[in-house]
Amino acid sequence: MNVSTLIKKYFASHINDVAIDVFDEKNIYAVYQRVIETLTQHINIETTLLQALSYCFYEILDNVLTHSGKELGTVITHYDSEGHTLSLLVADDGQGIRNSLAENVKYANLSEPEALEMCIRDSVTDGKGMGFGLYSTSLLVRDAGLRFDIRSGSHTLRLQEGQTSVIESDNWQGTIVYLQLRTDKEINPADVVANRTNAAEQYNELFLNDNELEELW
């Protein structure tokens, strides 16, 4: 995987100021924990955003190991404290969205653009998961997002300013999920997870100590 190409394309203004992690089934949780803990240390990032993001981020990581057919994925992150913006990218060089969904007979005949449009819908899956991770991420972007790209093959699905489009792009063998989020906006984590789990409580238990929890109230 050409990480330098990803940095130049998605983090052009911050080439020398990004964090890079490689994960597999053995260290996925450690990478997840390290990224979220690092963000938690920035007091200007809204806690409600982190509560929702922590759920979506793990789902995106897990998608790589569950659906890509590859054993490794890469995470690139950058937090702009002055611009109140978090940029986060998760990439793999696996089979891609279309081929993954085609493992489910319901989606076997989708074109690549159609597969990208479908993958952010609720309960759309290749059969190996619930089909909720990218859907909940789309809800996070709805509430706090500046941009959301899912790039796979020769197309990119983009959610930006409330509009969804699928455009042709340079070919990528695998899948790239790229998020730009506003970090100064308070949101409702329960809305992001469609009230199916308690994302706020899960985040609080994992990443906040008792004193920090008291400050929330």
Domains of the chain plus CATH, in order, are: 45-210 (3.30.565)
115 sits in which H/E element: helix 112-118
pLDDT of 212 above 70:
no
Question: How confident is the model over 158-193, as pLDDT tens digits?
Answer: 999 889 999 999 999 999 999 999 999 999 999 999
Contacts of 54 (CB under 8 A, 6+ apart): 36, 199, 202, 203, 206, 207
pTM of the model as a whole: 0.94
Question: How confident is the model over 147-159, as pLDDT tens digits?
Answer: 999 999 999 999 9
Contacts of 127 (CB under 8 A, 6+ apart): 103, 104
